[in-house]
Structure 1
Amino acid sequence: MQIAALPEPPYYMVSFTSQRTNVDDGYGDIGYAMTKLASQQPGYLGFESARGADGFGILVSFWKDEDSIRAWKAVVDHVEAQRRGRRDWYSKYEIRVALVQRAYGFDSGSQ
């Protein structure tokens, strides 16, 4: 995984913080399919994710606007993945949507 290359703000971010169950049953394949499908949606800008050995994870996706986020939430395959997540893969999750108004960083390799 790497840090997403994003445009200058403003843009939106959706934080999906989750705790996994012990059930795998296609989780990796569906996760890969969802990141690929999301990248094909209008308004998609990128994502970053991390998951610990204890099952705690954070996925942050970046979007042009709130309409793009709403459209992604309603994509049929994504709706099915959400249903599977609640039934099988997550014991708990939180979703937060935020407007990014400012962003900056550091890269030691660019000096």
Structure 2
Amino acid sequence: MSIPPPGFAPLPDPPYYAVIFASLRGAPDDGYGAMAAEMAALAARQPGYLGVESARDGTGFGLTVSYWADETALIAWKAVAKHQLAQRLGKDRWYLHYALRVAKVERQYEGPEGR
């Protein structure tokens, strides 16, 4: 595994899982930044965590993709109490809309040369 450029997660060869979280922020920060940083640090300490990639644009639309070694690891992450609190706060305070998708990654390649 080569070292990826900044912003890209260093991932192993597939298979692994990706949790894709798309969100539209509506409210002022009101603690969002601190909670997001805390969740990133907490996720990184979970068994089976592989990495994360995240971006948000000026309209409040964001994508965060977290990567997990297997389905057991991502299900365990969903059950972490502090993560459940962050999910509730997101629904109640921060997000106008969100979508969460889980995918099994079976292939990957990087560029610009590709595969």
- Report the Cα offset of residue 23 of structure 1: 2.6
Residue 13 of structure 1 aligns with an amino acid whose one-letter code is A
Moved more, 19-28 or 30-39: 19-28
Partner residue, 1:46: 51
- Report the Cα offset of residue 24 of structure 1: 1.3
Of 84, 90, 93, which residue of structure 1 is paired with 2:89?
84
Of 1, 12, 36, which residue of structure 2 is paired with 1:31?
36
Unaligned runs of 5+ in 1: none
- SS of equivalent to 2:51: strand
RMSD value, Cα: 1.2
For the residues of structure 1 that align with 2:28 and 2:84, how far apart are their CA atoms? Answer: 19
Aligned residue pairs total: 108
Map 1:9-20; keep pairs closer than 5 Å: 9-20=14-25
Of 72, 84, 101, which residue of structure 1 is paired with 2:106?
101
| Cα deviation code 1:5-52 (max 9, x no counterpart) | 100000000000000012311000000000000000000000000000
Of 52, 57, 62, which residue of structure 1 is paired with 2:62?
57
| Cα deviation code 1:42-80 (max 9, x no counterpart) | 000000000000000000000001111110001000000
Residue 84 of structure 1 aligns with an amino acid whose one-letter code is L
Unaligned runs of 5+ in 2: 1-5
- SS of equivalent to 2:24: strand
For the residues of structure 2 that align with 1:61 and 1:107, how far apart are their CA atoms? Answer: 23
